Amino acid sequence: MRACWTACLALACVANCANGAPMGARNDAVTVDHFDQMESSPPIEAANLEATLAELGRTIPANDAVLRRRYARYYCWNHRFVDGPIAGIAFANAQLGAAVQSHDLVAISDLTLCRAYQQQLLGRDALAQADYDAAVKTAQDAQDARMRGFALTARGAFESQRGRFSHALSDLLAGQRIYEELRLDYWKKANLVSIGDVYRRLGDCAHARDYYRQALTDFVKPDDLLSVAYLRTGTGLCYLDEGRNSEALSEFNAVLALHGQVAGIPDRDKAINLAIDRVNLARTLLNLKRYKEALTQGLAAKPVLDPKYHGSYLAVLEITLAEAYVALEMYGAATDRLNAAEPYILKIGDLNYRSRFHDVRARVLFAQGSTREAYLELRRLQEAAVAQFKIANELSIGQLTVQFDTERKIAENKALVAEQRDRERELATMKTIRLWQTIFIALVLMLLLLLVAFGIRQIGYAKKLKIIAETDELTRLRNRRSIMALGLQEIDKSKAGGVAVSFLAFDIDFFKHINDRYGHEAGDHALKAVAKVVSGTMRDFDRVGRTGGEEFLVILPITDLEQAIVVANRVRKAVGAAELDGIEPGLKLTISIGVAQAGEADKELADVLRRADAALYRAKVNGRNRVECDPIPKNDPQS
């Protein structure tokens, strides 16, 4: 089976035999033309594969070197090697020796192409690329148009999977022209699926769905469940990329059901198909915020996938699981999944995967209080986003679309009768002009949307960085610089509007004893507990910050001294009632609070804070666990 279709429908298209009948069932002798006929026909059921190959092997005379080499090519593509791609590569190498000795350029090209596909299955992209290039060149040297078409479309499918879309489409278009000139109708139609895959990976889902629909209509039989499942998977991935998650979920559930009904393939292959379906379902359920269901599907898929062959699926799966765990605030599990995903991310090098990876890791680190590490991940995310944006600007989907549609129009015009040729060419030219006009407008709009999306993402990063810069890493309250800046703003508002603003300065009583007796980790726990209790007693417009050590500052806008004292006592009692069993059963904390209202005599924020600190000192001297206030200075008109 040729790689252009094998790469798309790896299990659906495992054999090609005209009319599905083993060769031994025929009265005529096997010839090279029989193999050409088989490779030009739709695939048969996988259950007939090995029987067909065995019958062919018995029928071909052992001394017919030409026919044996032709059989070896067919066997390399269609036999299911027990030891996997490694055995396939070994078989291709062994047969290449005989082909080189006979200087059979077509056989050399075909066997090199088969070896390239086996290398691709192993993830050896550099070796696969070298073999695909060599196969194309050898086919060209052989001046065999049919073999050159197979080699070009196989390499095009490989380039598409690697993200080299312009190279992929160039090869696929060249192969398409050859299929049309040779009237290889099956391969001409099958190649449309590879074209559809390119457009899907480019993000042009409208064209991709058109080609998938055409494939389903023209050459995929309804009872060919694997082929139908593949095309519906492509449609589902398009819906997923477009954010149409409910439609994507419907497609992937249908594909899961189709793969469950497939018969005649090894259990291992069936399990892999179902696992990949579950990966797609997990991604979709995550987008729908059905996190537990996403975990169920993803965890069911994970044990089936083999890191040697399914690295890209495992990368997507691990990141998806990590995002679900983050949504459920299970940060330890999310970290494990990110650590598992990292080797695949580094190997694949996909920028979209990298962006998702850095975004999720930043959220986990920030939630765990690792602010500096979270900031570094956000910087890496920003770098990946910039790289993605540059690539998006370089891709011209519209130009690629016009290129293929124009080539298809030219091929169709050649088949028309002579008297209609001039008229059809004129119509094609007019359509091309209209297409270019439409595509130019669409491309401009697309670039504008990319710029807007990039700007929105940058604003989001800036907000995250601002939050990190203003937040105390331990307590998640505002840090000293942030709370002081807010204090200055409230002093200015008070002076301008004549409204009261008060400040509470407090610290934890005997905090040093906690550190000395229970350790600094217990002290950190106490600081976080106090921060949580105090924040919970505040109004929406009040502000709480940690100014250093065990010291805190509360800003109470629109609050006079008398009201502030009430608030301070409420805070003091709430802290005293807090349970601290995590440090020591029965342990209680107390705080001392100094209260001051800003007055006209306070020229700066520092003035009112000095008075609040003085009141706090009196509270300490007078026995702790109490509230003291500093009255507004007597020369102040409000006193």
pLDDT, tens only, 377-421: 888 877 766 766 665 555 555 445 545 544 554 454 344 334 445
Which range among 56-70, 484-498, 570-584 shows the weakest confidence by mean pLDDT?
Answer: 56-70
**493 and 617 in a common domain:** yes
Which letter does DSSP use for residue 581 in this model?
A: T
User: Within a domain: residue 254?
Assistant: no
Give the containing element (helix H, strand E) for 397. Answer: helix 397-415
Letter for the amino acid at 537?
T
Q: Does residue 552 have a pLDDT over 90?
A: yes
Strand partners of residue 169: none
Q: Are residues 39 and 146 in the same domain?
A: yes
Report the pLDDT averaged over residues 480-484.
92
Statement: residue 564 has pLDDT above 90: yes
604 noted as active-site residue: no
CA-derived radius of gyration, the chain: 35
Of the listed ranges 103-117, 327-341, 395-409, 615-629, the least confidently predicted one is 395-409
More confident residue, 32 or 358: 358
Alpha-carbon distance of 633 to 639, in angstroms, equals: 7
The Cα 270–Cα 450 span in angstroms is 40
Residues 18, 138: one domain?
yes
Of all residues in the chain, what percent carry a pLDDT higher than 70?
83
Q: What is the 3-state secondary structure (H, E, C) of 103-166?
A: CCHHHHHHHHHHHHHHHHHCCCHHHHHHHHHHHHHHHHHHCCHHHHHHHHHHHHHHHHHHCCHH
Q: How far apart are CA 153 and CA 218, in angstroms?
A: 19
Q: Supply the pLDDT for residue 21.
A: 35
pLDDT of residue 392: 55
Number of folded domains in the chain? 3
Left if phi > 0, otherwise alpha if psi is -120 to 50, otherwise beta: which for 19?
Answer: left
634 pLDDT tier (thresholds 50, 70, 90) = low
- Tell me the pLDDT tens digit for each residue of 304-352: 998 877 888 898 899 999 999 999 999 999 999 999 988 888 876 666 7
Determine, yes or no, domain membership for 619.
Answer: yes
Are 79 and 208 within one domain? Answer: yes
Enclosing H/E stretch for 593: strand 591-597
Residue 628, classed as helix, strand or coil, is: strand
The sheet with strand 591-597 has its strands ordered as 543-548, 551-557, 501-508, 591-597, 627-630
* Cβ proximity of 44 and 16 under 8 Å: yes
Q: In this structure, are residues 556 and 567 in contact, taking their beta carbons and an 8 Å threshold?
A: yes
**Looking at this protein, which amino acid is placed at residue 507?**
D
Residue 15 has a pLDDT of 30
Work out the pLDDT band at 179, boundaries 50, 70, 90: confident
45 and 72 in a single domain? The answer is yes
Q: What is the mean pLDDT of the chain?
A: 82
Mean pLDDT of 517-524: 88
Residue 178, domain member (yes or no): yes
- Type and span of the H or E element at 548: strand 543-548
pLDDT of 130 higher than 80: yes
Predicted local confidence at residue 8, as pLDDT: 35
437 and 562 in a common domain: no
* Helix ranges, 203-244 (H): 205-218, 225-241
- Residue 639, pLDDT > 50, answer no
Last residue of a domain, one of 416, 446, 470: 470
Residue with tokens 């990298």: 354
Q: How far apart are CA 410 and CA 413, in angstroms?
A: 5
Residue 497 lies in a domain: yes
CB 196 within 8 A of CB 208: yes
Last residue of a domain, one of 438, 470, 502: 470
Mean pLDDT across the stretch 113-131?
Answer: 91
More confident residue, 442 or 568: 568
pLDDT greater than 80 at residue 248? yes
Whether 453 and 600 map to the same domain: the answer is no
Which one-letter DSSP state was computed for residue 509? T
Q: Are residues 444 and 571 in the same domain?
A: no
Q: Is residue 119 one of the residues assigned to a domain?
A: yes
The amino acid present at 231, given as its one-letter code, is L
Domain shared by 69 and 172, yes or no: yes
My answer on whether 35 and 181 are in the same domain is: yes
What does the pLDDT average to over 490-506?
A: 91
Domain identity same for 7 and 151? yes
**Domain assignment of residue 138, yes or no:** yes
The whole-number pLDDT of residue 7 equals 34
Instruction: Using a pLDDT cut of 90, give the percent of the chain over it.
Output: 39
What is the enclosing helix (H) or strand (E) of 449? helix 418-470
The answer to whether residue 11 sits within a structural domain is yes
Cα 565 from Cα 74, distance rounded (Å): 90
Going by C-beta distance under 8 Å and a sequence separation of 6 or more, which residues neighbour residue 252? 233, 236, 277, 280, 281, 284
State yes or no: pLDDT of 77 exceeds 90. Answer: no
Whether the model pTM is above 0.85: no
591-597 and 627-630 beta bridge pairing? parallel
Whether 573 is in a domain gets the answer yes
Burial (Cβ within 10 Å: 0-12, 13-18, ≥19) of residue 140: middle
Say which CATH number the domain at 573 has.
3.30.70.270
Q: Are 49 and 78 in contact (CB under 8 A)?
A: yes
Residues 508 and 465 in one domain: no
Q: Under 8 Å CB-to-CB from 519, ≥6 apart: which residues?
A: none
Of 133-137, 263-267, 494-498, 533-537, minimum mean pLDDT range: 263-267
Structure token digits, residue 599: 């007055």
Domain that holds residue 440: 397-470
Letter for the amino acid at 265? I
Residue 517, both tokens: 């007796």
Domain boundary among the residues 197, 218, 239 is at 218
Nearest residue to 17 (alpha-carbon basis) of 1, 6, 5: 1
Task: Name the catalytic one among 55, 377, 550, 628.
Answer: 550
Find the CATH number of the domain harbouring 162. 1.25.40.10
